[in-house]
Amino acid sequence: MTLIVMAAGMGSRYGGLKQIDPIGPCGEFIVDYSVYDAAKAGFDKVVFVIKKENEEIFRQTVGSRIKGIKVEYAFQGLNDLPEGFSCPDTRVKPWGTGHAVLCAESVSEGGFAVINADDFYGRESFELLAKHLKGAKAGNYCMVGYRVENTVTENGTVSRGVCEVENGKLTDVVERSKIQKSENGIEYLDEETNKWISLANDTPVSMNCWAFTPDFFAELKSAFVEFLKENINTEKKEIFLPFVVQAMMKRGDCTVDVVTTPSKWYGVTYKEDREGVVESIRKMTENGTYPENLWG
């Protein structure tokens, strides 16, 4: 099983390369804890999808200290496009999470999980993903669903895939780019009406914590070509994983098991989030969930 870690994001809201900001007692990054948990759950390989210009710093930091799991790198660049397409000169934003996963195809083996580099998911999430992959057949995917109340920050809005689930299966997912905690509870901005709409605290949301069988790459490649035909000249349009999965579900080409977790999300969407993440990691180190020096 392969763990694909999407780490090529620009970190614009955070104001820097947040994926490699130390938050652990011995200088560990959030992604160190994800890889550590994945290895404990039985994953054999981790693939970091990064920008080519960040390769050296990733190899010197995370890559050089990881133990117990094979490490590979894949590179997401604006010009990494299918034959017949070229990147417009005005494009500066990455092509999205769907493109990031596609960039890792050549170095992935077997069933694979996908996560963000700057999100702390908790050990249970990787155990759930591994359990699914060990018995999954082609077209049977999995998503770890989090309660939306456990995934918001006090410091601004976040983007989440808001999900509808029936009998343990995903039936719909809508990407909401602005979800926030307010005096009215949790709400999202409906971009069509420009109005804030309430969300129940237990609404399941996607945190880009997925498990896929290898056939997904072919579907992703086809979807990306169609995306480029329609959107290549739209500067900020991205292809998100939930969009591809949703289209497949509507065609009857896949099913998605939703396994829910009560775990709280920790992440550094904004600089102000960092202090809370450091404190949470400190507590988990003190209670023995993680060793003080993660990689010994």
Residue 90 burial (CB count, 10 A): 7
**Interval 87-142: pLDDT, tens:** 999 998 889 999 999 999 999 999 999 999 988 999 999 999 999 999 999 999 99
Q: β-strands 45-50, 2-6: how paired?
A: parallel
- Give the residue with greater pLDDT, 291 vs 183: 291
pLDDT confidence bin for 264, thresholds 50/70/90: confident
Burial code (b: 16+ CB inside 10 Å, e: under 16) for 22-50 equals ebbbeebbbbbbbbbbbbebebebbbbbb
pLDDT confidence bin for 76, thresholds 50/70/90: very high
pLDDT confidence bin for 19, thresholds 50/70/90: low
List Cβ neighbours of 58 (8 Å cut-off, separation of 6 or more): 7, 20, 48, 50, 73
Residue 102 burial (CB count, 10 A): 24
What are the helix (H) ranges across 196-273? 216-231, 241-251
Query: How many degrees, rounded to 5, is the angle at CA 66 between CA 64 and CA 67?
Result: 120
pLDDT confidence bin for 20, thresholds 50/70/90: low
**Interval 190-244: pLDDT, tens:** 988 999 999 999 999 998 899 999 999 999 999 999 999 999 999 889 998 988 9
- The span from the CA of 217 to the CA of 224, in Å, is 10
For residue 66, how many C-alpha atoms fall within 13 Å in the half-sphere facing its CB? 26
pLDDT confidence bin for 174, thresholds 50/70/90: confident
Which CATH number is correct for 2-139+205-286, 2.30.40.10, 3.90.550.10, 3.40.50.360, 3.30.70.141? 3.90.550.10
* Full-model pTM: 0.91
Query: What crossing angle do the helices spanning 216-231 and 241-251 adopt, rounded to 10°?
Result: 110
pLDDT score at 118: 86
Domain boundaries, the chain: 2-139+205-286
